Amino acid sequence: MDTGLENNGQPPVPTKYLDYMGFWEGLDEEKLNIQKCGSCGTFCHPPQPICPDCRTIDRTWEAVSGKGRVYSWVTYQDSPHPGFKAPFTVVLVELDEGVRMVSRMVDINPDDIETGMAVRVTFQKVTDEMVLPLFKKI
Ligand SMILES: [Zn+2]
């Protein structure tokens, strides 16, 4: 899989904030866990301390299909960091559950990406402690 990462570079990795732990724990098992309100069922991403719809603090995690559509994207022609090999594409995916997630597209020529393109999550272990969700065309 061409992930856009240089073999000799060390790409930056996200910080595992406590409010995201259900998300990170799911990724370790190659599951895409999205925060869900235990009261009204609203999905929320990025995770929030309270439900944006009903304002309760009753939060749960649900493994979703990982399917969605490209909402928007940008292709970097120059690398902003030595750990990333340009060109690479950052994508905003709208999951079937209605939440949007920033990630990267893999295994596709950036010229072939289109708004509304059906995509599915794939998982990449980037360090001993970190798995990231990436997206590929389906
Ligand atoms: Zn709610």
Minimal CA–CA distance to 69: which of 50, 89, 95, 44?
A: 95
- Residue 91 has a pLDDT of 97
One-character DSSP codes across 83-97: TBPSSEEEEEEEETT
Residues by chain with Cβ below 5 Å of ion ligand 1: 37, 39-40, 42, 51, 53-54
- Residue 1 has a pLDDT of 52
- Residue 62 has a pLDDT of 97
Q: What torsion do the CA atoms of 40, 133, 135, 10 make, to the nearest 10 degrees?
A: 150
Which residue segments constitute the domains of the chain, with CATH numbers given? 16-64 (no CATH), 65-138 (2.40.50.840)
Give the pLDDT confidence of 99-118 residue by residue, as tens digits: 999 999 999 999 999 999 99
- Residue 72 has a pLDDT of 98
Minimal CA–CA distance to 42: which of 89, 110, 99?
A: 99
Taking the centre of ligand 1 as the mean of its atom positions, its distance from the CA of residue 64, in whole angstroms, is 18
| CB contact set of 50 (below 8 Å; sequence gap of 6+) | 56, 57
Q: What's the rounded Cα separation, in Å, for the pair 70 and 30?
A: 21
Q: What's the rounded Cα separation, in Å, for the pair 103 and 123?
A: 11
- Residue 9 has a pLDDT of 63
- Residue 39 has a pLDDT of 97
Under-70 pLDDT residues of the chain = 1-9
Taking the centre of ligand 1 as the mean of its atom positions, its distance from the CA of residue 65, in whole angstroms, is 21
